[in-house]
Amino acid sequence: MMTAALGKPPFQLDQRRVAQAILLAALVLVAFRGALPAGLVRLPEAMVVPFADWINAAFAFAQDDLGLMSLTRAFSDAVELCLDVTANLLYGKSRWPNVGPIPWVVIAATAGMAGYALGGLRLALLAAGTFVWIAVMGQWKWAMETLSVIVVSVPFSVIFGLLMGVLAWRYRLAERILNPILNIAQSLPHFAYMIPVVVFIGVGPKAGAIVTIIFSVPPMIRMSLLGLRAVSPEIIESGKMSGTTRWQLMTRVRLPAARTEILIGVNQVIMQSLAMVVLASFIGMPGLGQKLLQLLQALKIGLSVEIGITIVLLAIVLDRMSKAWAMKQPEHVEGETWVQRHRLLTIWLGLVALGFLAAWAHPYFAEVERKQALSMAGPIDVVVGGFIDLVDPVTDWLRWFLITWVLIPLRDAFLWLPTSAVVLALAGIGWRIGGWRSALVCLAFVLPIALSGWWDRAMITAYTVFVSVTLALLIGVPLGLMGAANETRARRFLLVCDTAQTFPSFIYLIPVIMLFGVNDVAVVAAVTVFATVPIVRYTIEGLRNIPPEIVESAQMSGASPGQLLRHVKLPLAVPTLVVGANQSIMFALFMVIIAAFIGTQDLGQEMQRALSSTDVGKGLVLGFAVAFMGLLADHLLLRWARSRNASLGSSQS
């Protein structure tokens, strides 16, 4: 057997040769573009596959003939019931149980106590401070509209995700089916989720909640599965030897032992929900997102900055608190009496009582009127206005330079490329990286885009992503190198990246609209900023994870710092950096689609049109086109990083 494996098979395709041949063919197609038949430059109209019509027909069938409508109705009614309760409690909508609204001081005190219990004094101050800021700035009602949806949607997502995670853990088949669905679901842009929901549910808070639930389930499934897999076999064996039944083993041993991963899943659900709930303003979801959208469209910078700060603060508080909860280790308590053992609970009850008392004594502590609000929009407008006037010559020139010399030529080049050449080139790159299998995967992702008839739009999206990620690399890698200089600085940089990643993507539009107005440059700038974060992060991680012995041995070989970087650190960090670039592309794709509402001509703009005309088929086709672009890049980059890592013999990912 061994000798047979060593001998060369009689016929073998050299991976590199085949790839070169395919790429050469693509090059020939580009070079002789003028002489090509029109069918190779662009897919002929007649060959476009009406995917959208098929999807619409399928949806119509599900809606009318399968009675799916009544199922979704029942589910959405259940959600609405919960929404009414939270809406009443948080901002006093006149629904059952008709006791709200809870005074803002009580909610701020509760947040502060939760922060203290989970992460000590600093988190307590952050949490309570955030709610005080919201109240004092007069944004209470909007923030509570947003929160009331999150409070309902997160438990739904967590329970669905957990159940599906357990299912996937228990049945191989369920996992095999779920895995590709999750891959696509996690690369579908936000808007793609909204269109079907609008069709089935309509618009408003209920639709916002449901789209949020659907959007935030996938990470929960992933993390539950991961957690259940990671429970140490000895803990399970010790459970079995304690005489557990299967149910006891699951509920009292496996799930509690997977607590950390499950709670990290909850953290991801919360963050995804916040991002979605802000965007759900596009389908009539009231709250912070809607306010921000209106203010941005009216170019009221001062007020939108205030709302932006609120969203950012909420994101940080929710992220820190849920992470602290996930990381919190159980600790024993000493104490004789109930009060001693439940010290924090007692203090909280006291604070709540005080809060209600204060609210009863003075209405300011129950609700801050709009006219009492301490808005600084005026001064912010003046400062920002002054700043913009100051940098205007620079931004003006930058805008002119980018549009004339970079963006338009590049866009034209992308659009000029023959479809056939792009398809062939991607197959060639696939073959070079992962053999015929990868080539087929690439074709499977790119051909549907070509056949869907949205090729030009997709190329514009691709060009925007290409420009933005290139800029992100040019900015992010040097920043990462700077950040990795020493451990303290690395930790600080990573904290900033972590925090920046928790912001809902929408937020990044505020500063770029401020600086560049509403045009292509603003889109590219927003996407670039958003896409730089993962690059910085992975550059630092890649450099930091190099084994110290390798660095030391290079130093002892007499390498100068420059040589060390060029010959040792960078080559070893590149696979990690590529993983970062991959994430950066994903981020960029999501952002490009969101940025559509400040005016692009890509898939995102079409998706917004599909949203306003509630065209499910078109919306999903566009969504899949975006997802396939992301998955294509994901496949190529991760595949390359893996084989590179394997050849380096390291296990970093």
> Which range touches another protein (CB under 8 A), out of 143-151, 209-217, 234-242, 577-585?
234-242
The region of 81-89, 241-249, 520-528, 550-558 touching another protein under the rule CB under 8 A is 241-249
Q: Are 572 and 550 in contact (CB under 8 A)?
A: yes
Q: Name the one residue in this structure whose structure tokens are 């709302």.
A: 307
Between 263 and 276, CB nearer to another protein? 263
Q: Taking CB under 8 A as the rule, does residue 328 contact another protein?
A: no
DSSP string of 118-151, one letter each residue: HHHHHHHHHHHHHHHHHHHTT-HHHHHHHHHHHH
Q: Which of 15, 244, 470, 563 binds another protein (CB under 8 A)?
A: 244
Among the listed ranges 208-216, 236-244, 393-401, 490-498, the one in contact with another protein (CB under 8 A) is 236-244
Out of 57, 67, 242, 612, name the contact with another protein by CB under 8 A.
242
At residue 570's C-alpha, the angle toward residues 569 and 575, to 5°, is 110
Nearest approach, Cβ of 248 to another protein (angstroms)? 6
Q: Least Å distance between CB 328 and another protein? A: 11
Six-digit token pair at 441?
């995967």
332 binds another protein (CB under 8 A): yes
CB nearer to another protein: give 260 or 375: 260
216 vs 269: CA distance, rounded Å: 5
Helices (H), 484-612: 487-502, 509-516, 520-544, 548-556, 561-563, 570-594, 603-612
Number of amino acids touching another protein (CB under 8 A): 25
- Contact track, another protein, 117-146, x by CB under 8 A: ------------------------------
* 237 lies in the site for another protein, by CB under 8 A: yes
**What would the two tokens of residue 595 be?**
């940025």
d(CA 182, CA 439): 22
Q: How far is the CB of 651 from another protein (least distance, A)?
A: 22
Among 33, 42, 95, 240, binds another protein (CB under 8 A): 240
> In the complex, what is the shortest distance from the CB of residue 225 to another protein, in angstroms, rounded to a whole number?
20
CB 238 → another protein: shortest distance, Å?
Answer: 3
73 vs 252, which CB is nearer to another protein? Answer: 252
Q: Segment contacting another protein (CB under 8 A): 12-20, 229-237, 301-309, 519-527? A: 229-237
Per DSSP, the three-state class of 98 is coil
Q: List all residues 6 or more positions away from 579 whose beta carbon is below 8 Å from its beta carbon.
A: 538, 637, 638, 641, 653
**Angle (deg, nearest 10), helices 520-544 and 570-594:** 150
Per-residue binder mask for another protein (CB under 8 A), 253-272, x = binder: x--xx-x-------------
- Residue 333 near another protein by CB under 8 A: yes
Asked if 245 touches another protein (CB under 8 A), the answer is yes
| Rounded distance between C-alpha atoms, residue 191 and residue 280, angstroms | 9
**Residues whose CB is less than 8 angstroms from the CB of residue 373 and which lie 6 or more positions away in sequence, other chains included:** 136, 137, 138, 139
Contacting residue, 81, 173, 176, 238, with another protein by CB under 8 A: 238
| Site for another protein contains 172 (CB under 8 A) | no
CA 100 to chain centre: 33
Instruction: Write out the two tokens for 70.
Output: 């009544």
Q: Which of residues 35 and 241 has its CB atom nearest to another protein in the complex? A: 241
Distance from the Cα of residue 98 to its chain's centroid: 36
For another protein, the binding residues (CB under 8 A) are 232, 234-235, 237-246, 248, 252-253, 256-257, 259, 329-334
